[in-house]
Amino acid sequence: MRHQTGFTLLEILVVLSLLGILAGLVGTSLVSANRATAKAERFSTRLDEVQAAQHYLRRAISQALPLAAGPPVAKPPRFVGQPAQLTFHGPLPDSIGGGLYQQHVSLAGQRLMVSFARLDGQATQRFGEPQVLLHDVQQAAFSYRGRSPLGQDSGWVSNWPWPERLPRAVRIEATLAGVVPWVTEQVNLRLDLASEPGSP
């Protein structure tokens, strides 16, 4: 008579234990992979946000024009540059409205903001709502370099002292939350200041 062979209870328990361990390892690997993918997506999204903000600032500031707008009783400034904000005049792309605007960039809390006012002669008319250029900005600092009315190099200053004149360059430094850094920007204005009336 032939004896039937099979798995013992102990062997079955060992196999089930091994399968449980393998399932656990596979699950851990999947969770780690999902976390890595989500982290990479967050990094990519944040990098896109930072680059978009830098692109706007480079384009807008480089195209600043020596225009003035404000109440007729006062001599309105052409360019206001302070440590945490600046105001200048320049064009917007046709894709977002076109025309000439007063543009005000400032740090509000931890948000880098920009607001617009359409130029109508020397008057301004508010245009749209303030827009967030970048979130989670821990610190931002603007500095300016140009020439004095006497033609002397100003060096880098945190307050632009000649609002009737445009600087030659604006430097933008910032500290951001997260792993994506802000690379210090130096934006050179395209306008040749030597061509301004009254320039030395």
Q: What is the per-residue pLDDT across 128-171, written as a single tens digit (0 to 9) for each?
A: 899 999 999 999 999 999 999 999 999 999 999 999 999 999 99
Q: Is residue 10 part of a domain?
A: no
Q: What is the pLDDT of residue 196?
A: 47
Q: Is residue 95 part of a domain?
A: yes
Q: Number of folded domains in the chain?
A: 1
Confidence of residue 194 (pLDDT cuts 50, 70, 90): very low
Q: Is residue 135 part of a domain?
A: yes
Residue 199 has pLDDT above 50, yes or no: no
Pairing of strands 169-176, 185-188: antiparallel
Q: Which residue has the tokens 């033609």?
A: 151
Any residues with CB less than 8 A from the CB of 129 and at least 6 apart, and which? Answer: 115
Residue 10 has pLDDT above 90, yes or no: no
Confidence of residue 93 (pLDDT cuts 50, 70, 90): confident
Q: What is the pLDDT of residue 122?
A: 72
Total residue count of the chain as it appears in this document? 200
Q: Is residue 20 part of a domain?
A: no
CA distance 80 to 142: 11
What tens digit of pLDDT does each residue of 62-81 get? 999 999 876 666 778 999 99
Q: Do 67 and 78 touch, CB atoms closer than 8 A?
A: yes
Q: Is residue 120 part of a domain?
A: yes
Domain that holds residue 61: 48-195
- Please tell me which of 11-20, 73-82, 170-179 the model is most confident about, judged by mean pLDDT: 170-179
Q: What is the pLDDT of residue 109?
A: 92
Q: Which residue has the tokens 């917007």?
A: 92
Residue 102: enclosing H or E segment and its boundaries? strand 100-108
Residue 182 has pLDDT above 80, yes or no: yes
Q: Is residue 2 part of a domain?
A: no
Q: Is residue 23 part of a domain?
A: no
Question: 184 or 18: which carries more pLDDT confidence?
Answer: 184
Q: What is the pLDDT of residue 3?
A: 54
Residue 197 has pLDDT above 70, yes or no: no
Residue 85 has pLDDT above 70, yes or no: yes
Q: What is the pLDDT of residue 121?
A: 74
Q: Is residue 32 part of a domain?
A: no
